[in-house]
């Protein structure tokens, strides 16, 4: 047993003072330090530095590790030229993406306080790195393929990857999961099979959804930049589904919908009604010219969202604090203190619920996953700690997963 004492402990959207946590692999008790010391006299005592805030470990719900070799290959600015550049450079980027590069990115996430992440995997090439990383990984095997002719073959390959992720050791902290690439790129027949598979096996489920204006134009009118794209690469000018049909495919199983920047009020209300959640990727959306997710609408609908970095295919780092700071600038009309608190909740409690992890809050019985952040001085007003944590943190001071210290 260990007991950790920090100046501030983040619970229920507040920063509690004079509290300590007793933990093994899970949180055993949260109480006054003197009470815990009396209850567990043999526990190892961890005293954190002055002005340290103890957060639940942060959860990055959506990252593509396989694209970690990208620096300048992909064209940022507008979605469609970016997608063209992905097709052009994908093979080289995959070839250049060594295990070492991916391990370094897992470390970068860890140092920023990320104790769990959702890895979107196209080919399964990052499975070993994810198994060996200290973090919990929800391993989202991605299904892609809109052409009916190849659909069965692609589904077979997807099933093989699912099986490989199911045979990982329990101590690798891997959860096998299902990702649908997008409405425009997955044939409805295999889409339905994959959703049923996720549901039967109670696996977390995610999908990219209405990321760009071009995607909306294609699905609604069979026009725009995607028309040129599909004519060029797939010899077709008909989308395989509609927005409504695609959303309905997920009706009976809560799913993490990624981006949703171009979803309208009715669609967002539908996602909320069906118990789905949203992944918000502020920098990725900005860099690919997709627009701003109206998080104030999500709030009004009580539609929960997480904050995610996406991959280095559409970002410049996998640091969760870089993402928070960008979110603060992107949502420039939002009250900054309130937004900061909301972002912290999004990347802890709401992210854990979206990925089905027993983490995200500092309650008894939860995983002992912690990110400790040390502020540069005594905060003058405790109600501002979320903002100061976001503005002053590049790296966490210490990070624990399953009760073990990794940073
Ligand atoms: C497709 O299979 O339709 C597809 C694959 C990659 C990108 C876009 C579409
Ligand atoms: Fe993505």
Q: Are residues 393 and 302 in the same domain?
A: no
As a whole number, the mean pLDDT across the chain is: 98
Return the CATH number at 305: 3.20.20.140
Confirm or reject: Cβ of 118 under 6 Å from ligand 1.
Answer: no
For residue 334, give every residue at least 6 positions away whose Cβ sits within 8 Å of its Cβ, in sequence order, or none: 295, 296
Residues 349 and 391 in one domain: no
Q: Is 309 in the pocket of ligand 1 (CB under 6 A)?
A: no
Residues 298 and 201 in one domain: yes
Record the tokens describing residue 363, joined without a space.
């309650």
pLDDT of amino acid 202: 98
Which tens digits make up the pLDDT trace of 49-70?
999 999 999 999 999 999 999 9
Rounded to an integer, the average pLDDT of 392-403 is: 98
Q: Both 63 and 43 in a single domain? A: no
Distance 341 CA to ligand 2 centre (A): 25
Supply the pLDDT for residue 294.
98
Q: Within this chain, do residues 398 and 271 fall inside the same structural domain, yes or no?
A: no
Residue 398 CA, ligand 1 centroid: distance in Å: 41
SS3 state of residue 129: helix
List the residue whose alpha carbon is closest to atom 5 of ligand 1: 185
Whether residues 116 and 238 share a domain: the answer is yes
Which strands make up the sheet holding 136-143, listed edge to edge? 58-63, 114-121, 136-143, 174-180, 205-209, 256-259, 277-280, 305-307
| 302 & 382 share domain | no
Domain count, the chain: 2
Q: List the structure tokens of 285.
A: 């959306």
Which ligand 1 atom minimizes the distance to the CA of 154?
A: 2
Give the per-residue pLDDT at 86. Answer: 97
Q: What is the pLDDT of residue 164?
A: 98
Asked whether 348 lines ligand 1 (CB < 6 A), one says no
The answer to whether residues 93 and 228 belong to one domain is yes
Of 335, 355, 375, which residue is a domain's last?
A: 355
Q: How far is the CA of 40 from the centre of ligand 1 (A)?
A: 57
User: How many angstroms separate the Cα of 316 from the Cα of each of 310, 320, 332?
Assistant: 10, 11, 21
* 386 and 296 within one domain: no
Distance 310 CA to ligand 2 centre (A): 5
For the full predicted model, state whether its pTM sits above 0.95: yes
pLDDT, position 178: 99
Active site residues: 211
Q: What is the reported pLDDT for 141?
A: 99
What's the CA gap between 54 and 255, in Å, rounded? 29
- 396 and 303, same structural domain? no
Mean pLDDT, residues 242-249 taken together: 98
Atom in ligand 1 nearest the alpha carbon of residue 150: 2
Residue range of the domain that includes 335: 58-355
Tens of pLDDT, residue by residue over 89-121, are 999 999 999 999 999 999 999 999 999 999 999
Residues 5-25 have a mean pLDDT of 97
Write the CATH number for 372.
Answer: 2.30.40.10
Q: Which of 108, 144, 142, 109 is nearest to 125 (CA)?
A: 142
pLDDT of 326 = 98
Are residues 340 and 373 both part of a single domain?
no
185 CB within 6 A, ligand 1: yes
Tokens representing 151 are 């659909």
Task: Give the pLDDT mean for 395-406.
Answer: 98
| pLDDT tens readout for residues 163-219 | 999 999 999 999 999 999 999 999 999 999 999 999 999 999 999 999 999 999 999
The answer, yes or no, to whether any atom of ligand 1 lies below 6 A from the CB of 144, is yes
Distance 312 CA to ligand 2 centre (A): 10
Q: Would you say 199 and 206 are in contact if contact means Cβ atoms under 8 Å apart?
A: no
How much is the average pLDDT of 356-381? 98
Six-digit token pair at 265?
């009020």
Closest CA to 345 of 5, 117, 4, 10: 10
* Closest ligand to the CA of 179: 2
Residues 157 and 13 grouped into a single domain: no
Distance 45 CA to ligand 2 centre (A): 41
pLDDT of residue 339: 98
Residue 144 CA: nearest ligand 1 atom is 2
Tell me what the mean pLDDT of segment 312-338 comes to: 98
pLDDT reported for residue 283: 99
DSSP string, 46-86: EEPPTTEEEEEPEEEEEE-GGGTT-SSSS--SSHHHHHHHH
Task: Verify whether ligand 1 is closer than 6 Å to residue 146 (CB atom).
Answer: yes
Is the minimum distance from the CB of 165 to ligand 1 under 6 angstroms? no
Minimum CA distance residue for ligand 1 atom 4: 185
Q: What is the pLDDT of residue 156?
A: 98
Question: What average pLDDT does this structure show over 239-255?
Answer: 98
Cα dihedral 97, 257, 204, 154, rounded to 10, equals -60
Give the ligand whose atoms come closest to the C-alpha of residue 82: 1
pLDDT for res 219: 98
């Amino acid at each position: 047993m260990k007991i950790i004492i920090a100046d501030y402990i983040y619970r229920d959207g507040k920063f509690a003072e004079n509290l300590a946590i007793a933990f093994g692999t899970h949180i055993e008790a949260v109480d006054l330090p003197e009470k815990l010391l009396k209850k567990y006299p043999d526990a190892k005592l961890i005293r954190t530095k002055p002005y340290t805030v103890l957060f639940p470990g942060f959860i990055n719900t959506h990252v593509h590790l396989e694209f970690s070799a990208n620096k300048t290959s992909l064209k940022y600015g507008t979605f469609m030229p970016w997608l063209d550049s992905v097709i052009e450079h994908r093979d080289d980027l995959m070839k250049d993406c060594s295990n070492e590069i991916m391990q370094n990115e897992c470390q970068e996430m860890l140092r920023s306080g990320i104790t769990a992440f959702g890895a979107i995997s196209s080919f399964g090439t990052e499975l070993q790195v994810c198994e060996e990383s200290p973090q919990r990984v929800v391993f989202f095997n991605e299904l892609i393929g809109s052409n009916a002719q190849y659909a069965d073959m692609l589904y077979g390959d997807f099933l093989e990857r699912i099986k490989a992720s199911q045979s990982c050791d329990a101590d690798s902290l891997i959860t096998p999961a299902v990702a649908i690439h997008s409405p425009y790129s997955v044939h409805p027949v295999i889409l339905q099979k994959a959703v049923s598979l996720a549901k039967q096996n109670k696996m977390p489920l995610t999908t990219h959804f209405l990321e760009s204006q071009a995607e909306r134009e294609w699905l609604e009118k069979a026009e725009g930049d995607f028309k040129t794209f599909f004519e060029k690469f797939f010899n077709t000018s008909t989308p395989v589904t509609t927005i409504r049909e695609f959303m309905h495919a997920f009706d009976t199983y809560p799913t993490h919908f990624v981006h949703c920047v171009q979803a309208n009020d009715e669609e967002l209300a539908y996602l909320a009604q069906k118990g789905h959640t949203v992944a918000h990727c502020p920098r990725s959306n900005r860099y690919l010219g997709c627009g701003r997710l109206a998080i104030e609408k999500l709030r009004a609908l009580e539609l929960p969202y997480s904050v995610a970095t996406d991959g280095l295919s559409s970002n410049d780092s996998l640091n969760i604090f870089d993402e928070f700071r960008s979110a603060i600038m992107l949502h420039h009309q939002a009250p900054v203190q309130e937004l900061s608190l909301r972002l912290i909740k999004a990347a802890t409690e709401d992210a854990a619920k979206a990925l089905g992890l027993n983490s995200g809050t500092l309650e008894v019985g939860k995983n002992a996953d912690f990110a400790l952040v040390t502020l540069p001085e005594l905060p003058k007003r405790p109600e501002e700690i979320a903002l100061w944590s976001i503005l002053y943190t590049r790296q966490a001071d210490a990070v624990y997963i399953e009760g073990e210290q990794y940073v």
